Amino acid sequence: MSDIFLDVHVAVPPDEEVREILPAALSELGFEGFSEDERGIHCFIKKELWYNSIEHILKDLSEQLNLPFVELLSITEIVNKNWNEEWEKSIKPIAVTENIIVTPSWHPVHEEGKMILTIDPKMTFGTGYHETTRLMLKLLEHYIVPNATVLDVGTGTGILAIAAVKLGAQHAIGIDIDEWTLSNGRENVQRNGVEKQVEIRIGSLSVVPESSFDLILANIIRNTILELLDEMIAKLSPNGTLLLSGLQTTDQKPIEAALLKRDYAPVAVLQENEWIGIAARSI
């Protein structure tokens, strides 16, 4: 078989959810490696396996999955590489705050007095490299209370639920509609030694009969936050805190307006580049 691959470079907006959905969809079509850059995603497939028009495939996927601004930038022939090795090289430890370091298991970190989150993602997302994850960790570090109960909506790799427990929460539940979260999230929970305190569930908020959470976290896109806001507030303790991200600066006013309609208001707004994180409480 040929060692020639196609590097299909696709323009994708800096939206964490879109950048997770597209590789998942393309992997079903034979693509076997992905890497992210500022403009979008490089998608790799063996040349001999590709007979279709990528333009039509991207158009169909964009319409089916309601993905905005996805377009083909280039197609380049390259010689096969060890994609897993290349991917692992690209993910290194990162200091998110003065006290929190996120690292993959193949780059062990030992720093006295630091909280180490060991996170191995199945794809290059949910590692702490995205601004929204860092914003959520910064807010979480500030608003966690001892022995808190935490609900993480759209948990992905489980990083926020794991961090909550390491910061002093008594128990955290992470939920996600993506099936890969069940294995990847649980693997990360075990890596961090918090399996007795962090539970990963697959599904929407309907899989969470519990309520009165001290903290509810949602690092997801604006439209999904707005759709779930009433349900999340219903599960929040009267004195609890909502931590929201996955939001761009242009999302701030619509989110604040939606919160105000429900008698909630921001108590903090953090920004990194074009992304924001919001902490909100009942007025």
3-class state of residue 172 by DSSP: strand
CB 136 within 8 A of CB 219: yes
User: Are the CB atoms for 72 and 55 separated by under 8 Å?
Assistant: yes
Q: Which tens digits make up the pLDDT trace of 175-221?
A: 998 887 888 899 999 999 999 999 999 999 999 999 999 999 999 88
CATH topology (fold) of 91-282: Rossmann fold (3.40.50)
Instruction: List, for residues 70-85, the tens digit of each pLDDT value.
Output: 888 998 988 766 656 6
Read off φ and ψ for residue 209, nearest 5 degrees: -75, -20
Burial 101-132 (b: 16+ CB within 10 A, else e): bbbbeeeebeeeeebbbbbbbbbbbbbbbbbb
Task: Give the domain ranges of the chain.
Answer: 4-87, 91-282
What pTM was estimated for this model as a whole? Answer: 0.74
Q: Which CATH class is domain 4-87?
A: alpha beta
Kind and range of the H or E run holding 222: helix 222-234
Contact predicate 201/189, CB 8 Å: no
- The reply to whether domains 4-87 and 91-282 share a CATH topology is no
Query: What count of other Cβ atoms lies within 10 Å of the Cβ of residue 168?
Result: 11
- Quote the pLDDT of residue 86: 64
pLDDT digits (tens, 9 = 90+) for 212-250: 999 999 998 888 999 999 999 999 999 999 999 989 899
Q: Is residue 124 pLDDT above 50, yes or no? A: no
